[in-house]
Amino acid sequence: MESYAKAGLLPDFRVSYTLYSAEEGGRKTPARQHIRWDFRYDEPAISTSTFMVWPEILLPSGALLIDGVVPTHGLADMFIIFPTSRAFHQQHIKPGLRGYFVEGARRVAVCEVIAILNLHSNPLQ
C-alpha cells in the first residue's frame, strides 16, 4: 500500500508512540507499515469508543516509512478515516493528549499528540 497522501488524504495530527512488548500485552508478531490500528482516547470521560484514526509511521528523519516493520517507538501521522467523526476529534485532540493504538480491545501502543497538522483545515474531509 502507498501513503494515504497518495490517496488524497492529509494527516490530521502527529503522535509519538511506544509499542507494548508481548510481555506487556502487545503484539506477538511485528507490525508493518499501514497496519490499521484504531485509536482510543486515554480518558474515559472523553470517550469509551474506538475510532478509525489510522497511523502512518514516520522515520526518525520525519520522512515516511515506505514499507517494513514498525519501530518500537517513534512518530506517526494520524488520519481520521470517517468524516462524520471529525467534529468530535476537533473538540478533543490537543497536544499532550494521550491515547492508544488498539487491536479490538487490546492496547498495542501508547501515544501522545505532539502536533496538530490538518485537523481543522483538511479540505477533503
Q: Shortest CA distance to 79 belongs to which of 41, 125, 46?
A: 125
Record the cell numbers describing residue 83, joined without a space.
468524516
Domains of the chain, earliest start first = 4-116 (2.40.30.10)
What is the mean predicted confidence (pLDDT) over 18-25? Answer: 96
pTM flag (> 0.95): no
Provide the pLDDT for residue 38. 96
What is the DSSP pairing of strand 53-58 with strand 73-80? antiparallel
Tell me the longest C-alpha to C-alpha distance in the chain. 42
| Ordered DSSP codes for 13-37 | EEEEEEEPPGGGT--SS--BTT---
pLDDT digits (tens, 9 = 90+) for 25-54: 999 999 999 999 999 999 988 888 999 999
Query: Which residue in the block uniquely carries the three cell numbers 514516520?
Result: 58
Residue 125 has pLDDT above 70, yes or no: no
In Å, how far are 26, 28, 124 from 22, measured between CA atoms? 5, 5, 37
pLDDT digits (tens, 9 = 90+) for 61-107: 989 999 999 999 999 999 999 888 999 999 999 999 999 999 999 99
* Cα 40 off chain centre by: 9
In Å, how far are 4, 33, 105, 106 from 12, measured between CA atoms? 11, 18, 24, 24
